[in-house]
A and B are shown apart, each in its own frame.
Chain A
Amino acid sequence: MQELTFETMFAVFQEMFGAGLFWAMVIAALVVTMAYLYVLIRDRAVSWRKFLWAQLSMPVGAVVAVIFVQRITHSQFRDLGGPIDWLVLLGVAALGAVGAAILVYTVESLIWRRSHDEVS
């Protein structure tokens, strides 16, 4: 490979998931991020109670992300062959964990009333 540019990476991800799923995921990620920023600005503080639940969801997000990637690429854990493979796997898991945490926190914040959180 001569160069690895953003344009190439963009094309690669579109190819990887198919155009429909790729754009659905991009939009979902944008919506969740916007909603997350919205609740942070609205509440003007991080609710640690909600954050606890968000943290508990992280392992689930990590596992789901890894299984998702393995399913699309006909791969299994036994295919990991060297340190770089473990780094890629951990990267996928980390992305899944962070994504799940943000998602859970945002959903909690949108559903639970802010007052409810203050009372508890």
Chain B
Amino acid sequence: MSHDRTDDRTGALGRRDVLGLFGGATALTLLAPGEAPAQPIRSSARIVILGAGAAGTALANRLSERLDGAQITIVDPRVRHYYQPGFTLIGAGLKPANYSVSATSDWLPRGIAWIEEGAAEIDATAKTVTTTGGQSLDYDYLVVATGLKLDFDAIEGFSMDLVGTNGIGAVYAGPEQAAASWAEMDRFTSEGGQALFYRPATGMKCAGAPLKYTLLTDDTARRKGTRDNVRITYAAHSGSLFGVPIVNEKVRMVFERQEIDVVHNHVLRAIDPGAKTATFDTPEGQETYDFDFTNVIPPMRAPDVVRFNSDLSWQDGPLAADGWAEVDKHTLRHGRYPEVFAVGDIAGVPKGKTAASVKWQVPVVEDQIVSLIAGTEPTERYDGYTSCPLITRVGRAMLIEFDYNNNLVPSFPGVIAPLEELWISWLMKEVALKATYNAMLRGKA
């Protein structure tokens, strides 16, 4: 495939070029100046991308546009692509499970190789990846975009078949589990009782999601007129509800207004589905709480291939224990293996485990790799941009955007206030985000 494409470009205009010209011409008339596509750079580099999620797919599309002749191989056994920002909407009964599901193959560019296997081992010294099927792949550049591992096994008493029974939900686990969580939340908000929410103490994707789901449960009960029969407790893993202080203070106010009880320094250890209790580790020892509905969120860690079968994890510091990839927080380039990059959830950086972060990280890694190939100086930098449309009820959200320094970095300053609960922020989450995400996957946004 890649050979055909290279031949196309050496001669007269190939079919893709002509199509590209029309597409480009249309785009040029509509886009701001400076959007003109750069001339592809000729290269025979072997680039291996581990993972065909949001980050891996978006990067594969962008690199295949920028490089001509490079051998790009993407390694991922998953044939279903998940639009994970949709899980909260599925879990709130607003969208069906298939809202978040598409085919991995729908998004991958032509001219690259997709190996439908997992990565089993990475030898960064020999520059080789071994797949779960035993294939050995040599690379010149490696992009680790494996995502993270939801470590449900770390919660004693939990198993995936419990989701949708005994008041147990697990919105993070997948679209079907999110739909099953909604069935339980719907039943619970009709019957009443104790709802129990929390988050893990590890790094996690979309740290706003546990808060949103708490508020959506509150909203569902209020809409049904059953809020008086429902008690909601949020057990924060630390002394705060959200890592960014100014946002934390706002969330504290919203929780107080919505009559959500908060306890601090509680980390989930075990659940007992029969007794409907959850046990937490706290500074005062273990504490057990009753629940009639709960959203189980497990610790999140680097996948085993990175954590145990590679030398890519941080050796020390706060990101070492869970095996996150050791990369510079601005360039996303590995600290010890300069031909290795990490992008998306697996990147061992202090913030940025959201799809919006991926949108900002991918151009940085693209710039790094293309610059290395072209022998130029990379210019793009990632400053920790993370975005979270924090839903406070169906119909309203806060469009929270921040960086490594905990500064708010609003996209629409003076127009959309980040700490205000607005309808327009809800509209963005509900209707605009998936389209933007899809455009990102194709390398267009």
Q: Which residue of A is nearest B360, CB measured?
A: A2
Main SS at interface, chain A: helix
B438 touches A11 (CB 8 A): yes
B435 touches A85 (CB 8 A): no
Neighbour of B432 across the interface among A12, A78, A88, CB < 8 A: A12
Smallest distance from the beta carbon of B188 to chain A beta carbons, Å? 20
B439 CB contacts on chain A under 8 angstroms:
7-8, 11
Interface residues on B, range: 35 or more
A81 touches B421 (CB 8 A): yes
A2 CB contacts on chain B under 8 angstroms:
359-360, 445
Binary flags per residue of B404-424, CB closer than 8 Å to A gives 1, else 0? 000000010001110011111
Stretch of A26-34, A35-43, A52-60, A67-75 contacting B (4+ beta carbons < 8 Å):
A67-75
Task: Kindly state whether residue A118 has any CB partner on chain B within 8 Å.
Answer: no
In residues 1-29 of chain A, which contact B (Cβ within 8 Å)? 1-3, 5-8, 11-16
Task: Kindly state whether residue B276 has any CB partner on chain A within 8 Å.
Answer: no
Task: Kindly state whether residue A45 has any CB partner on chain B within 8 Å.
Answer: no
A81 CB contacts on chain B under 8 angstroms:
396, 420-423
B30 touches A88 (CB 8 A): no
Smallest distance from the beta carbon of A41 to chain B beta carbons, Å? 27
Q: Which residue of B is nearest A89, CB measured?
A: B423
A79 touches B423 (CB 8 A): yes
A75 touches B431 (CB 8 A): no
B444 CB contacts on chain A under 8 angstroms:
7-8, 11
A75 CB contacts on chain B under 8 angstroms:
394-395, 423, 426-427
Smallest distance from the beta carbon of A89 to chain B beta carbons, Å? 8
Q: Which residue of A is nearest B396, CB measured?
A: A79
A82 touches B420 (CB 8 A): yes
- In Å, the complex CA distance between A84 and B422 comes to 8
A1 CB contacts on chain B under 8 angstroms:
356, 387, 411, 436
Q: Which residue of A is nearest B35, CB measured?
A: A5
* Chain A residues proximal to chain B, CB less than 8 Å: 1-3, 5-8, 11-16, 72-76, 78-82, 84-85, 88-89
15 contacts between A and B (CB under 8 A): A2-B445, A3-B32, A5-B35, A6-B30, A11-B435, A12-B436, A13-B435, A15-B438, A16-B431, A74-B395, A75-B426, A79-B393, A79-B426, A82-B422, A85-B423
